[in-house]
Amino acid sequence: MTKFADLNLNPKVLKAIEEAGYETPTPIQADAIPHALGGKDVLGIAQTGTGKTASFTLPMITKLARGRARARMPRSLVLCPTRELAAQVAENFDTYSKHVKLTKALLIGGVSFKEQDVLIDKGVDVLIATPGRLLDHFERGKLLLTGIEIMVVDEADRMLDMGFIPDIERIFSLTPFTRQTLFFSATMAPEIERITNTFLSAPARIEVARQATASETIEQGAVVFKPSRRDRESTEKRAVLRALIEAEGEACSNAIIFCNRKVDVDVVAKSLKKHGYDAAPIHGDLDQSQRTRTLDGFRAGTIRLLIASDVAARGLDIPAVSHVFNFDVPSHAEDYVHRIGRTGRAGRSGKAFTICTPRDEKYFESVEKLLQKEIPRLDNPVAKPAPAAKDETPAQDSETPQPKASDSAEPQREKSRSSGKSSRGRKSLDRGADKPSRRSDRGGQDSNVVGMGDHMPEFIALSFEERRAS
């Protein structure tokens, strides 16, 4: 069996790996590290949670241990799709480079430009960034990419989903042609394959698992239910979610709950808090400091349930996540793999449950088609949708003692008819004319002229009389 000691890594890096408690590399690490140390381009395809981050951080630290950074000219670049993933990569560098004198900078949104400029001006060996913030610094003239020796693109398929491909192509064009490129992705969409063919030179292709497969250590299940009414769908889905969490009991030590929309993230988090759960939301609209506090609380165990959008589907390296709940079926089948990949990491077992409504069936079929297997169906933990309807019972009961609208309306109609008749009688006596119907205005059978009261001028009355006579 291959061990880290057999991979020709820097002794100081090996010491850090040992202190971190690792001894045996994962399959992608065992295959990618030798090629990366040899200076070859690497195209790594592996499911999430297989140790891709260490497969490029370890050889990078080993190769960068010799040399010195220059001001505003980083020696290596790691591109990540989200802030959380970038922060996770930075933590990995801190862990494995603590015995090596390397400097790094993290360029992500939500942080002051000034603080980041200070780090860049000093010169960094490793620059970890999201594409947007990196280009912001470049356009402000604070950064040069002509000194890049090693370039890493992590979670490339997520970059595609988030619309970063044009930015990636531009960043590639700003780096030297002689750079070494390490390219990692969980899936290989046609657009991703086009980029690898364009910017990678004879890469070593490493595929340790079938594209877009879920780990075998994850137990999957789906609850398919039909809401009692369309306007009650969200309420009943939240009831199903709570029932699933309660059914797992203490086995659900912590969990990530995924929603498709940011507004649903906030609604589900608020609902769970209202029912006494330790829950907190995380999505792209939150301030970076708040997102960091939420993640720290989730890692520390003070927050049990993390409700997230797909911004958190990748880059959350929290090994002890026991459960994943898909409140919504993802519209892209690949996102399902990345969502449930937050559990069952590093060989641990995990559970992933999905709530599917009739409108989600086409997306759910796409997921099963991608996985090439059927996800087991589970019984609805909420036996009947009656509890949702029961909430409306008091309002209905309060109306029960009252007479029906049709019953109470009859006397009113009779009263109005009688009063109407007497009123018309009085008007006809006073004005000498019956109350006209609307049909008379449209040339109907009623030919009576509309009366205008006692104050009507005589010349108008004469004209009416002449018209009536004719």
Question: Which domains can be identified in the chain, with CATH numbers?
Answer: 4-207 (3.40.50.300), 218-388 (3.40.50.300)
pLDDT in tens, 101-114: 999 999 998 788 99
Question: CB atoms < 10 A from the CB of 167, how many?
Answer: 17
Give the whole-angstrom CA distance, residue 412 versus residue 393: 29
Q: Quick one: pLDDT at residue 401?
A: 42
Q: Quick one: pLDDT at residue 455?
A: 61
φ/ψ bin of 282: left (φ > 0), alpha (ψ from -120 to 50), beta (otherwise) = beta
Q: What is the DSSP string of 357-426?
A: -GGGHHHHHHHHHHHTSPPPEE--SS--SHHHHHTTHHHHHHHTTSPPHHHHHHHHHHHHHHHHHHHHHH
Residues of the chain with pLDDT under 50: 385-447
Angle (CA) 226 228 234, round 5°: 75
Q: Quick one: pLDDT at residue 364?
A: 94
Q: Quick one: pLDDT at residue 138?
A: 95
Give the whole-angstrom CA distance, residue 134 versus residue 137: 5
pLDDT in tens, 211-242: 566 777 889 999 998 998 888 999 999 999 99
**161 neighbors 110 (Cβ within 8 angstroms):** no
Give the whole-angstrom CA distance, residue 245 versus residue 272: 11
Q: What is the DSSP string of 84-136?
A: HHHHHHHHHHHHHSTTS---EEEE-TTS-HHHHHHHHHH--SEEEE-HHHHHH
Residue matched to tokens 């594209």:
211
Q: Quick one: pLDDT at residue 392?
A: 43
Residue 220 exposed, middle or buried by CB count within 10 Å (0-12, 13-18, 19+) = buried
**416 phi and psi angles, rounded to 5 deg:** -65, -35
**363 phi and psi angles, rounded to 5 deg:** -70, -40
